[in-house]
Chains A and B, each alone.
Chain A
Amino acid sequence: MPIKVENLSKIFGKKTKEATRLLDEGYSKEEVLEKTGCTVGVNRATFEVEEGEIFVIMGLSGSGKSTLVRLLNRLIEPTEGSVEIDGQNLATMNKENLREIRRTKMSMVFQKFALFPFRTVLDNAEFGLEVQGIEKEERTQKAKEALDLVGLGGYANQYPSQLSGGMQQRVGLARALTNDPEVLLMDEAFSALDPLIRKDMQDELLDLQETMKKTIVFITHDLDEALRIGDRIALMKDGSIVQVGTPEEILINPANDYVEKFVEDVDRSKVLTADKIMKRPETVDYDKHGPRVALERMREQGLSSIFVTDRSRNLKGYVTAEDARKAREEGVSQLSSIMKDDMPTVDLDTSIQDIFNVIHDAPVPVVVTEDGKLRGVIVRGAVIAALADGNEVNGDGA
């Protein structure tokens, strides 16, 4: 468990004791400010970040994200609580140990890049090793590796001001990676970039993470970004963490009105996947059943078509009510002769956006399969409902 945070608080101001007491009595951040003049930065945050995950901390402006991330490397002194990194409590350790941890275990990437303008790209990347007193040769080599990793190998001798914003932040990332830290702290690292570059950087971070497997604490105020890159997301409000969960948990079960509101305007089509909106399919058995049974089932359920599977639920195809009626009149008893197989098929994790595109002119509901086995069906209405509003999308499938 690389990072374990317990009851971590930061109160800005003089009367921190009184402010803490008021918070415990249930007063809000605003009331505490009014009564004591203290600003609640972070209020009793408790969470754990697991090894190798991207843990996103999200919240509106002023909710305490920057304060929280700076408490993790003690750029800000905590008022209360503990931050454990590999079992060592950062909040109480002495200056030397803290410096050692900052040098070897955690690095930070900043919103406005915070590059040293009078140093070249290479010298910027070397900074972390330089303060550790590492030999020039070794640190140059490591810094170059990190620059190559972020695709800036050719810019080593440029100055930051000669690079675009996206490139500057790559330098920021390279500087953080040169130390080969366990933990990367990223405070709104991509917020200053324009949207397209920002997407690129997100993708690149995910690519890098595939091989690096760092523990990343990523701050953002942008839910889309959180959903894209987060393995888990913590939502902050007024200094408190109001919910921690996977992107889907947050979207589908908002812990309270605040989270729901936050989540409301996210483009659900990007995050909801087939398995979230599919329904239990009506089927007939290829070997056991004939047109008669199929027709009966369809009438019971008010369907115009039904899917056909074998005994182990491998999808074979579908029959329509019309074909089944004809077959019955003609006395055909096998489904195989009237079965069609031009149904659109998607996977469990296909996004709603993509489903929407195929469902448009499909003759039957979209089927969701896993290794060829039928798992569920999606009707047009469910997709539209999910695109419009996610609250009622939970099907009874899966």
Chain B
Amino acid sequence: MVLDNIPYIPVADGVDWFVDKITDWFSFVFDPIKDGFGWLLDNSADYLAMVPPIFIIILVAILAFFLSGKKFGLAAFTIVGLIFVQNQGLWEELMFTFTLVFYASLISVLVGIPVGILMSKSKLAESIITPVLDFMQTMPAFVYLIPAVAFFGIGMVPGVFASFIFATPPVVRFTNLGIRQVSKELVEASDAFGATGNQKLFKVELPMAKRTIMAGVNQTVMLSLSMVVIASMIGAPGLGREVLSALQRADAGPGFVAGFGIVILAIIIDRFTQNLNKEK
């Protein structure tokens, strides 16, 4: 066979070498991140877990009430759901998971929106970044765990890192889309009145694209949440770890309960970000 004559290409070795080298070369970047960010994550989660659950439940319920336009549905769900989690002894795990999701999606959004803006302004940037995003999204999420561990050891930080890679693409794409969708006449109007590039962006394009961008943020947050569960495989604490250990013990009951906790968190976060978007 002709094909057999092609020598084996050592891609895997190459990637190994690459990850090793990156780890070596950039350890002066990774190590402080690991320590500093790790400290921040741990402390945030610890402090959050120290707050009496009842305060958090009331606070979230009030927020839910106002965010959903003074309706009781979401607030009621929030109260019942959170009391259930507390009742099942998973409160601390919930706080850890929430902390991870919060920071992971915050970083995704802080990086993703500017990148999306860049894409919308430059054809070249768009043509380079689009395939990168495709790659980031289609690669099985587990794969990111490997370099994440190499760079940041185990724990919450690599979880955030893996989640960042997996969850950032939607907010980038939606930001790009939202800005490109702004009607040509509105862009012309702002140019015709002599707006600078920045004025156009902040006074016209971003406000017009806000809804689309927020839809991207919502997706990014939901993807972070799903990744945070996977990240428990590299030692990230939280509800995901409960699911994982129940899986390892083939213990359906506790697995189901922890999974249910994740669903509750997901629904609350989803409705919150969606209602933020509806606000005028």
Binary CB contact string for chain B from 181 to 201 against chain A (1 if under 8 A, 0 otherwise): 001011011111111100100
Known: A118-B207, A118-B208, A131-B199. A103 touches B194 (CB 8 A): yes
Binary CB contact string for chain A from 347 to 387 against chain B (1 if under 8 A, 0 otherwise): 00000000000000000000000000000000000000000
Q: A357 to chain B: closest CB distance in Å? A: 44
List residues of chain B with CB within 8 A of the CB of A75.
Answer: 188, 191-192
Binary CB contact string for chain B from 9 to 24 against chain A (1 if under 8 A, 0 otherwise): 0000000000000000
Q: Across the two chains, which residue of chain B brings its CB closest to A123? A: B203
Q: Across the two chains, which residue of chain A brings its CB closest to B188? A: A75
Q: Does B83 contact A (CB under 8 A)?
A: no
Q: Considering the complex, which residues of chain B in the window 201-232 have a beta carbon less than 8 Å from any beta carbon of chain A?
A: 203-204, 207-208
Candidates B191, B196, B199, B204; contact of A116 at CB < 8 Å: B204
Candidates A70, A99, A118; contact of B194 at CB < 8 Å: A99
A131 and B195 contact, CB distance less than 8 A: yes
List residues of chain B with CB within 8 A of the CB of A185.
Answer: 192
List residues of chain A with CB within 8 A of the CB of B208.
Answer: 116-118
List residues of chain A with CB within 8 A of the CB of B191.
Answer: 75, 102
Q: B202 to chain A: closest CB distance in Å? A: 11
Q: A169 to chain B: closest CB distance in Å? A: 13
List residues of chain B with CB within 8 A of the CB of A47.
Answer: none
Among listed A107-115, A210-218, A282-290, interface-contacting one: A107-115
Q: Does A317 contact B (CB under 8 A)?
A: no
A107 and B185 contact, CB distance less than 8 A: no
Q: Does A73 contact B (CB under 8 A)?
A: yes
List residues of chain B with CB within 8 A of the CB of A112.
Answer: 183, 185
Please tell me the number of chain B residues within 8 Å of chain A, measured between CB atoms. Answer: 17
Chain A contact-residue range equals 20 to 34
Q: Does A128 contact B (CB under 8 A)?
A: yes
Known: A114-B183, A116-B204. A108 touches B189 (CB 8 A): yes
A100, A127, A132, A175: residue with the most chain B Cβ atoms closer than 10 Å = A127
Candidates A106, A108, A131; contact of B203 at CB < 8 Å: A131
B194 and A110 contact, CB distance less than 8 A: no
Q: Does A30 contact B (CB under 8 A)?
A: no
A114 and B194 contact, CB distance less than 8 A: no
Q: Does A82 contact B (CB under 8 A)?
A: no
List residues of chain B with CB within 8 A of the CB of A108.
Answer: 188-189, 192-193
A99 to B197, CA, bound (A): 11
* Apart from the given pairs A75-B188, A127-B203, A179-B193, 8 other A-B contacts in the complex at a CB distance below 8 Å: A73-B192, A110-B189, A111-B185, A112-B183, A112-B185, A114-B188, A114-B189, A131-B190
Binding site for B on A (CB under 8 A): 70, 73, 75, 99-103, 106-108, 110-112, 114, 116-118, 127-128, 130-132, 175, 179, 185
Q: Which 10 A-B pairs have the closest CB atoms?
A: A103-B194, A102-B194, A114-B185, A114-B189, A108-B192, A128-B193, A131-B195, A99-B194, A118-B207, A131-B199
